[in-house]
Structure 1
Amino acid sequence: MVPIQQCVVTAEQMRQIEGRLFAAGMPVAALMEKVAQRITTWLEDHFDLRIYPRIGVVAGPGHNGGDALVVARELHSRGYDVRVYAPLAKFKDLTQAHAEYIKHLGILWAESLAALADCDLLVDGLFGFGLERPIEGAIATDVEQINQWSQPVVSIDLPSGLHTDSGNVLGTAIRASHTLCLGLWKRGCFQDSALPLLGRVHLIDFDIPWSDIEAVLGQRPQVGRITAAIAREGLPLPRLANTHKYRVGHLLLVAGSQTYSGAALLAGLGARASGVGMVTLAVPASLKASPDGLPTRGLDDSVPRTPDGAIAQLPDSMDLESYDVIACGPGLSLAANACVQRVIATPSPLLLDADGLNILATLTPIPALKQRSAPTLLTPHPGEFKRLFKGLEAPDWPGSQAQAAAHYSQAIVVLKGARTVIAHPRGHLWLTPDSTPALARGGSGDILTGLLGGLAAQKVVGGAAASHDLALMNAALSGVWWHAQAGRAAAAVHSELGVDPLTLLHHLTPTLVREMADAQP
């Protein structure tokens, strides 16, 4: 069974799942009560009555508004001073019933939003999942007013005004401090366009039976959220007590040029942090990129360079098949064409990044990748993706783009962004739940390349060729998660402005130690 915390749904899928609950006999009113009770408990746990005594609730006409009204009733019963504002006069029947009871209890039913101005907290229950029409007119004015106030805002399911699937703003939208996603994660919670409005996102589980989820999403859902448990399972841990460096992977890292010498260094340090047994750095002859402490079998003196300081070619004597994984691209420059073509032709698991991708884009990329006998992992940012996969840009979200690219190229695609997505050629898509804008720094992607390559080499070594695809996928899931968590940890100490690549590197190992300790019973 797939944990609920992994599942990500569209609006239509959520409708179908809820429809099964109602068809099986779950009363709509009972489900509303259950959901609202859990929201209320969350609010009480996070917003203490002594600090947030006055709570304003903005209720819409549908069942999202009904949830909000039940929450208002329960908060009132627990001692909060609650005020309700509903900008629309007409409600669905169940929501109307709750509105009448709210008034019966003497809870303030405000005639205008202004009555909520001095509240300590606002609860947004205007519109939930499935909104398709833009917010306009007087309601849009109310939304804009809420966004100008300073109180924290908690949105039920999604901030009102966000499209459930695309995360796009429909006219205008609430800017939430917290979003309480109900039942299952909505696709919009992972869209770059939605991130400035979501605040911190939390799942409010209301015990949907797995059989109903499986009936709609399948036994193994196509779209999932990377959890800490998934990431930890993919790590090359624990190690055998009698292991040695040749049993824990040998990575060939082809990187660097005279112009971009730092990229090779950072990728090498990222590989070192992965715990891989050996790293071979293939760099131009004039480039001394191997720092103290990096377990490197140096090739500096044997790798020729072009006039502008790029790798001209890899030596013919170099047996590329002897490495468990090859990672190629950081800082290469476009002059390293022959080098990239050779690693693509090598029957070893391959990771391509940066100029490795840009050079691939000048070839015939899809046939070149499909002809490979070993699995390939691509790690483009949006610009590299556009150059590499012309015509595959999907309008709705990066996940669709990555899935299409993985299908056509038969490569695992890590499409980097504010919420990186990972797509497998068989159609499965994984979404990164947490990251930080602190990682928007030159060099952080080079570290990720080394980290992924090192993890992949440890998973590949000693395994049958048939398992190499899974090894690369596990490395992608674990490495992307680890990289993001280290960025968050570094930002918590140094701020989002203070996480340069070396700072990020220094947080990789402590972050892993902490995460593994948290996993212990």
Structure 2
Amino acid sequence: MPAPTVMPVLSVAEMRGCDNEAIAGLGIPALVLMERAAWAAVTLLHTVAPAAGDGANHILILAGSGNNGGDALAMARMLAAQGKAVRVRALPPRSAETIQQTAILQGWPLSLTPLDDLAGLAADLTACDLVIDGLFGIGLDRPVEGLPADVIALLNACGLPVLALDVPSGVQADLGGVLGIAVRASWTVALGWPKPGLLSDPSLAWVGELWVADIGIPPQAGHISGRRVSWPPDAQRLLPVERAPQAHKGQFGRVLLIGGSPTMPGAIQLATAAALAGGAGYVTACVPETMIPAMASRFPAAMFRPQVPSQGTDWDDMLNRADVIAVGPGLGQSSATALLVERLLRTAKQPVILDADALNVACAHPEWVWHRSAPTVLTPHAGEAGRWLGIGSEELQADRWGALERLVDRTAAVVVLKGARTLIGSPNGPQWVNVSGSPALARGGSGDLLTGLIAALLAQGLGATDAARTAVWWHGAAGAVAAETHGMLSATWETVLAALPVAAQRTPPPVAPIGLTKLG
């Protein structure tokens, strides 16, 4: 089964709605969906984690009371049928399907005991090669306490590989936060569709490698969501990599970058380098006049304009020559910067990208942005976005999807909320989550490269939302390539830019035969 081009991200409520429609509306038995989920998880072990699946002959399964536990019990039967030595530790079943799965296991050649004995669990862990986490599913809405918390602590301390079913137990499926304590999974298989919490920064330390399994819920079950995954089958196709034989530079747009200051000369140079590498036909950097000689020798393909007062014929002429304008890298936060940004947003007819210092001086004046008729792209990290919303970065990180929505509503702009899982939102459009990237990008200058790439793609004709999410994906993919070739510590901005062509052409990994899809 080929990977879908567009991957929706479903909230807990949306996923439950799909389940209910498939079962009650379309007549698909709940037990059939449970069997499909279990078989997908078994296939994941053998197909994409062969070292664990084929090398793990002693498997411990932790089953909760609800349907997540039922999925785990069905897995136990399937693995036992394949000759694995399976031990099951289970909480008392509550749902009808989990009760039925428990009954089916009677008489199977496996060990099925209550999950009520920490000493016995510790002994089981020492005798096993791998653990299946089916304790809590997406419905968990309270802190994990008591015996389950002790079980999770013991599991995390044992060092065994863990496959989590749908969500690591203890991770809140909508927001990604940890409800007291959570299982640290090696792999998580999201059943049906990924949940937003699995694709949010707070959960990354717990999810491990994220896979999505098609469990047989058909499209007519109505899985409509305002969230999407931005990933290779979708984002890669938007890159303007092909050019006609008779193409000329005037067809690929004019980028104007405004930034730089005597104390921060580097950021605008990184944005300039990225705009050139991103394929813009013309790139002009408007910088302090003292910076021009050094930049001109470094970037002979670019053009340069000295920073001038943000009014008058020189200013108007400079703006009129551009197809897209990016402002902010290294600009400083003086009163002159505030005047420049206000003047630009009030007069420019082109798309404008606000980054870094331009974001900071504009955050007290959202009306500068929302009154514009041309697109505006904001590129905040958590701290900058928090200033726009009047909240701290910790509060913002606890609900990144909600913060994105509020920032889009506040500005009527395309918002790129940067992070390990960058989110992209736009007025009246879906929210996107990017799944490319690498911790190697967690260094100064990465955001400046992204600004230049967004500007280059906007100049080449992509719409503001498509340019933003495609640039974010491309930037992240190049960071991953640079980390592979140069190491996590040494993947500098030069190596990231050099990796852009490889990232643009890289083919996604093959998909497992029954519809397992890797995200990230």
What TM-score, normalized to structure 1?
A: 0.89
With 270-279 and 394-403 compared, the bigger mean Cα shift is at: 394-403
Residues 234-257 of structure 1 deviation map (CA, whole Å, 9 limit, x = unaligned): 222422221101111110011211
Q: Which residue of 1 aligns with 2:377?
A: 377
Corresponding residue pairs, total:
493
Matched AA of 1:190: L
SS at match of 2:72: helix
Q: CA RMSD in A?
A: 2.5
Native 8 Å contact 2:64 2:92 kept in 1 = no
Q: Which residue of 1 aligns with 2:74?
A: 70
Q: Which residue of 1 aligns with 2:157?
A: 148
Q: Which residue of 1 aligns with 2:453?
A: 451
Q: Which residue of 1 aligns with 2:108?
A: 105
Note closer, same or farther for the CA distance 1:517–1:421 as it changes in structure 2 (3 Å cut).
closer
Matched AA of 1:104: G
Tell me the CA shift for residue 207 of structure 1: 2.5
Tell me the CA shift for residue 118 of structure 1: 2.8
Note closer, same or farther for the CA distance 1:517–1:85 as it changes in structure 2 (3 Å cut).
closer
Q: Does 1:11 align with 2:15?
A: no
Aligned pairs (5 A) from 1:81-480 = 81-86=85-90, 88-110=91-113, 112-114=120-122, 115-214=124-223, 217=224, 221-287=225-291, 288-299=294-305, 302-303=306-307, 315-316=314-315, 318-335=317-334, 336-344=337-345, 345-362=347-364, 364=365, 366-390=366-390, 397-459=399-461, 471-480=463-472
With 61-70 and 221-230 compared, the bigger mean Cα shift is at: 221-230
SS at match of 2:128: coil
Note closer, same or farther for the CA distance 1:168–1:41 as it changes in structure 2 (3 Å cut).
same
Tell me the CA shift for residue 138 of structure 1: 1.4
SS at match of 1:169: coil
Native 8 Å contact 1:5 1:185 kept in 2 = no
Alignment partners' CA distance in 1, 2:185 and 2:133: 8
Residues 215-244 of structure 1 deviation map (CA, whole Å, 9 limit, x = unaligned): xx2xxx311111212212322242222110
Native 8 Å contact 1:271 1:451 kept in 2 = yes
Native 8 Å contact 1:268 1:294 kept in 2 = no
Residues 360-401 of structure 1 deviation map (CA, whole Å, 9 limit, x = unaligned): 125x2x221122221111101111112233369768621221
Note closer, same or farther for the CA distance 1:472–1:518 as it changes in structure 2 (3 Å cut).
farther
SS at match of 1:459: coil
Tell me the CA shift for residue 514 of structure 1: 2.4
Q: Which residue of 2 aligns with 1:488?
A: 480
Matched AA of 1:132: D
With 96-105 and 367-376 compared, the bigger mean Cα shift is at: 96-105
Note closer, same or farther for the CA distance 1:518–1:511 as it changes in structure 2 (3 Å cut).
farther
Alignment partners' CA distance in 1, 2:60 and 2:300: 57
Note closer, same or farther for the CA distance 1:478–1:427 as it changes in structure 2 (3 Å cut).
closer
Native 8 Å contact 1:176 1:197 kept in 2 = yes
Tell me the CA shift for residue 60 of structure 1: 0.8
Residues 114-133 of structure 1 deviation map (CA, whole Å, 9 limit, x = unaligned): 21323111110111111112
Alignment partners' CA distance in 1, 2:441 and 2:241: 26
Q: Which residue of 2 aligns with 1:499?
A: 491
Native 8 Å contact 1:267 1:450 kept in 2 = yes
Q: Which residue of 1 aligns with 2:516?
A: none
Native 8 Å contact 1:264 1:289 kept in 2 = no
Tell me the CA shift for residue 314 of structure 1: 9.5
Native 8 Å contact 1:329 1:352 kept in 2 = yes
Alignment partners' CA distance in 1, 2:410 and 2:34: 43
Matched AA of 2:348: T
Matched AA of 1:490: A
Alignment partners' CA distance in 2, 1:267 and 1:279: 10
Matched AA of 2:60: G
Tell me the CA shift for residue 518 of structure 1: 9.7
Note closer, same or farther for the CA distance 1:444–1:312 as it changes in structure 2 (3 Å cut).
farther
SS at match of 2:75: helix
Alignment partners' CA distance in 1, 2:80 and 2:297: 63
Note closer, same or farther for the CA distance 1:491–1:110 as it changes in structure 2 (3 Å cut).
farther
Tell me the CA shift for residue 296 of structure 1: 0.9
Alignment partners' CA distance in 2, 1:40 and 1:230: 28
Residues 251-281 of structure 1 deviation map (CA, whole Å, 9 limit, x = unaligned): 0011211111111111111111101111001
Native 8 Å contact 2:280 2:460 kept in 1 = yes
Alignment partners' CA distance in 1, 2:143 and 2:403: 25
Alignment partners' CA distance in 2, 1:125 and 1:291: 60
What TM-score, normalized to structure 2?
A: 0.89
% identical aligned pairs: 36
Note closer, same or farther for the CA distance 1:179–1:507 as it changes in structure 2 (3 Å cut).
same
Note closer, same or farther for the CA distance 1:389–1:289 as it changes in structure 2 (3 Å cut).
farther
User: Which sections of structure 1, spanning at least 5 residues, go unmatched?
Assistant: 306-310, 461-470
Native 8 Å contact 1:232 1:516 kept in 2 = no
Alignment partners' CA distance in 1, 2:314 and 2:338: 14
Q: What is the aligned counterpart of 1:513 among 505, 510, 517? A: 505
